[in-house]
Amino acid sequence: MTARTVRFKQVDVFTPVPFKGNALAVVFDADALDDAQMQSIARWTNLSETTFVVAPTDPAADYRVRIFTTGGELPFAGHPTLGTAHALLDSGYRPKTPGRLVQQCGVGLVELAEQRDGGWAFSAPPARVAPLPPSQYDALAAALRTDAIDFSAAPTAVNNGAPWLVVRMQSAAACLALAPDTQALASIVHAAGAHGVAAYGPHPAGGPATFEVRCLMVGDSFGVGEDPVTGSANAAIAGLLTQQQRRPGPRYTARQGTAIGRDGRIRVEYDDDAGKTWIGGESVTVFDGTCRLP
């Protein structure tokens, strides 16, 4: 009996250099797979996310994607969005509109655009925001084991399909120095309706990027540990910078993954005329082949 196989790629996202970004497994031709099979594959790859490309149900979409962590399905996530688009194009797919893609996923339709300087960017989906009560500030500082939180920008829970508690640090160095009490942090994060902390701090002028970013996960569907490079969290930060009137300009860059030996690079651009915030970066294919199914 011939084994059933589907096309498979493993790509590295937010980097042009293999092993320096955030890995993503992409399974094509996944329409015949049920939820349990998708979850089983995602657990086996043991990556932060695995995506499954299926036929769209909305005629405006180029494709539909389902995004699974090792613990469950997400309605949206940033690095899987960019990584799936890269894998699809790398497989030979041609967009309905040159230089544009429309992804259908749990939050609806997400627009992607080819960037002039390489890679692709997605338009950040709408988000719900909820500032952390000031009564929680001391507990947050204690849980993060730091006295360098910039409370002039209120820590805020932001949910754009992936819920993060965004915390601004006084500097990139303070962000890199974080060594939190995970159990105490989990209590605060979960009470805020989030699954992790997206901490960021500004680099000095002339630094490697505008901001340093770290995403500290505390369970639930995100898992536990530090995410190498995170599109949804960077989208949350970009949106909050607008709301808090802290934008560094019409575009900026972020570096993420430094604390765990990665070198992810994110490009953010505001298009106020169109009312869009673009979160972009480069991706590279690392493994290309087939996945054997049971």
Residues 106 and 132 in one domain: no
Together in a domain, 103 and 187: no
Do 260 and 139 lie in a common domain? yes
Under a CB-based contact definition with an 8 Å cutoff, are residues 196 and 216 in contact? yes
Tokens of 250: 């019409």
3-state SS, residue 276: strand
Query: Residue 49 catalytic?
Result: yes
Closest by CA to 268, choosing from 243, 251, 245, is 251
Comparing CA positions, the residue from 153, 161, 129, 121 lying closest to residue 239 is 129
Q: Name the residue range of residue 272's domain.
A: 128-277
**What is the signed CA dihedral for 89, 255, 75, 127, rounded to 10 degrees?**
-120
CA-to-CA distance for 109 and 245, rounded, in angstroms?
27
Options 49, 212, 226, 282, the catalytic residue? 49
Please state the domain count of the chain: 2
273 with 285, same domain: the answer is no
Q: Are residues 140 and 265 in the same domain?
A: yes
Q: Are residues 269 and 132 in the same domain?
A: yes
Q: Are strands 196-202 and 163-168 parallel, antiparallel or unpaired?
A: parallel
Do 102 and 22 have their domain in common? Answer: yes
DSSP H helix total and E strand total for the chain? 6, 18
Question: Domain holding 261: CATH number?
Answer: 3.10.310.10
Contacts for 131 with CB less than 8 Å, ≥ 6 apart: 154, 155, 156, 157
Which residues share a beta bridge with 24?
Answer: 11
Residue type, 26: V
Cα of first residue to Cα of last residue in the chain, in angstroms, is 12
Same domain, 25 and 108: yes
- Tell me the pLDDT of the chain (294 aa) as tens digits: 567 899 999 999 999 999 999 999 999 999 999 999 999 999 999 999 999 999 999 999 999 999 999 989 999 999 999 999 999 999 999 999 999 999 999 999 999 999 988 899 999 999 999 999 999 999 999 999 999 999 999 999 999 988 999 999 999 999 999 999 999 999 999 999 999 999 999 999 999 999 999 999 997 666 679 999 999 999 999 999 999 999 999 999 999 999 999 999 999 999 999 999 999 999 999 999 999 988
Assigned token pair, 137: 């500030």
* Both tokens assigned to 50: 């695995």
Q: Are residues 10 and 117 in the same domain?
A: yes
SS3 32: coil
Phi, psi of 158 (to 5 degrees): -125, 125
Q: Same structural domain for residues 155 and 176?
A: yes
- Model-level pTM? 0.95
Tokens of 261: 């030996």
Same domain, 192 and 106: no
The answer to whether residues 110 and 147 belong to one domain is no
